[in-house]
Amino acid sequence: MSEFEADLDADSAELLRLGSATLYEASGSDCFLDADFRPAWDGAEFVGRALPLSAQAGDNLALHHGIEEAGDGDVLVVDGGGARFGYWGEVMAVAALNRGIRGLVIDGGVRDTARLAQLGFPAFSTSISIRGTIKQWPGVLGSPVTLRGRVIRRGDVVVADRDGVAILPAGRYVAILDAARGRAAKEERIMERLRAGETTLDLYGLRPLGSPVSDTKQTAPNHL
């Protein structure tokens, strides 16, 4: 196990506590996936290393190969072209859990969502679909994929929770984590000042941007 992998295992709980939104904001880059990527069941979340793969629309053979290739701590990140097919379900989730796969992100559909929740297998997809798939093309495994404008490479850190999915480039992971820790500490200080009665307008220096037009400053008509 590499030093980076060991650190990621140790950092998983902290990454989920910081959350995808804070990590994205701290990164200073557009490392978020499109908002169409949603958890297949409420409460799904994970942290893992990306194993990208490309699948043919309506064909999930590549995902079966991905399960075999993936190791403990990996996350399958699949370009399914956004096709509304049930690429993934209960059977594949059981196989994935047995290999230590931590989750799935797919531009495409999943099914058996109640069973995925019962199994505790977190999947993030762009649709839920019971439509069946074929098994013809083995796909492309390990090469970068582009999901709706975002490039994901093997080894990138994927953090997914109810807010969304953040992809942290492996080469910037340590810097982003440090920045996120600093951001979280700053936000906690802001919370303390808000609880003490200060306003967001003052804390964020927003007053110079102008004041809204408000009819509360107008003289009320005298009906007496």
CATH number of the domain that 145 lies in?
Answer: 3.50.30.40
pLDDT at 219 over 60: no
CA distances from 216 to 201, 206, 209, 212, 213 (A): 19, 21, 20, 11, 9
Residue 213 lies in a domain: no
**Tens digits of residue pLDDT in 42-61:** 999 999 999 999 999 999 99
Residue 210: inside a domain: no
Reported pTM: 0.90
The residues with which 94 forms a beta bridge, in sequence order, are none
Residues spanned by the domain of 54 = 3-180
What average pLDDT is seen over the chain?
A: 94
Residue 151 lies in a domain: yes
Is position 71 within any domain? yes
How many CB atoms lie under 10 A from the CB of residue 80?
Answer: 31
Is 135 a domain residue?
yes
Instruction: Assign 5 a pLDDT band (cuts: 50, 70, 90).
Output: low
pLDDT attached to residue 9: 81
Q: Are 44 and 120 in contact (CB under 8 A)?
A: no
Provide the pairing of β-strand 164-168 with 74-88: unpaired
Q: Look at residue 224 and tell me if it is in a domain.
A: no
Angle at CA of residue 43, ends 38 and 49, nearest 5°: 65
Structure tokens belonging to residue 176: 């982003």
The whole-angstrom separation of Cα 122 and Cα 139 is 23
Give me 196's structure tokens: 């003490």
Q: What pLDDT, in 10s, does the model give residues 102-119?
A: 999 999 999 999 999 999
Contact 31, 148 (CB under 8 A): no
> What is the number of domains present in the chain?
1
Answer whether residue 80 is part of any domain.
Answer: yes
> Residue 222 — pLDDT band, cuts 50, 70, 90?
low
pLDDT at 8: 78
pLDDT the model gives residue 221: 58
204 found inside a domain:
no
How many other C-beta atoms are found inside a 10 Å radius of the C-beta of residue 10? Answer: 9
